[in-house]
Amino acid sequence: MESPGDELLRWYTYNKRELPWRETKDPYSVWLSEVILQQTRVDQGLAYYMKFIRRFPSVGELASADEDEVLKLWQGLGYYSRARNLLLTARMVQAEFGGRFPANYDQLLRLKGIGAYTAAAVASVCFKLPHAVVDGNVYRFLSRFYGITTPVNSTAGKKEFAALANQILDRTRPGEYNQAIMEFGALYCKPQNPDCLSCIFSHRCIAFAQHSVNRLPVKTARQKIRSRFFNYILIRDHSHTYIRKRTAADIWENLYEFPLIETTDKADHIGEKLQEYMGNEEIAISKITGWDKQVLSHQCIYYRFIYVEANGKKLLPEGLLKVNKEDILNFAVPKPIEKELDRMDWIN
């Protein structure tokens, strides 16, 4: 099977973006960039990478960090399990490998939060080991170049594309090749409206020849998105309010939020539940916002904020943390809370 490797590498030499993690073979820097860039655009991820590398310039310094600080630095990127795994991996590297990432693909896979893609990236870029990366950009390029119609999110598709990627990998320059194919997919072989007429592979691309570029790669239908309804209770006590930490195995685990009442739908009457939540004391509601929504991978969170005046009440729900208007901005919070904090008059 003919490989596009030489052409990809030539293209990459003259067209690659200048990015800080490409200026080093340090496994910590490469691994950090790969974790941040999962589900994240490069232009957004770059700022987060710089924040993390300045605050934690080595894996040892990250390993000794407090989780709340890591989550706060991560705030806004979403998929917070990546941040928690980031810390766990750093601690494993520090404890089990003396602060040095293992130069072995299988040992890299043992680290928390490192899957086949990240292990291949670190192994190939930092240690020149012949392991091919397969991400969305690679799926897209290979499916179009070779005309593959197997769904990329099926078990059979994942095996087929992984085998193909490793078969055509340039084993003399695996790190450069992996970066080249990902870069070409990101900048040229784009998901929508790629410029096929000026593509260096148009004369060899099966999808272009068969007019199927916009139909590839094939994906099976996504699972149904679950809808949830969050009523956040914003208890105002002069210049203070109350928050809690999400400790259940659920979305936004270990982030902080306002007290929450989850209902079955938007029409669910909140008055009685709110009264019960506030210890059956008489409460004064000063404002109820309209519903907004936050779309996650498999959930759609509809949320609103109910402003309640505390008026010195003593029977507040247990487990709440009282914070003032300055301190609350130091806590890592989900996107809906972050947006409301930006709007709150008493925060500014």
Query: Residue 263 is encoded by which pair of tokens?
Result: 């209902």
Gap between the Cα atoms of 141 and 227, Å rounded: 34
End-to-end CA gap in the chain = 62
The amino acid at 256 = Y
**How far is the C-alpha of 276 from the C-alpha of 312, rounded, in Å?**
18
**Residue 205 identity:** C
DSSP string, 293-330: EEE-SSEEEEEEEEEEE-TT-S-PPTT-EEEETTGGGG
Which positions ≥6 away from 56 have C-beta within 8 Å? 62, 65, 90
- The residue whose two tokens read 């949830």 is 228
Residues 6+ apart with CB under 8 A from 182: 133, 135, 137, 138
34: annotated active-site residue? yes
**Catalytic option among 34, 176, 257, 340:** 34
Residues with a catalytic annotation lie at 34
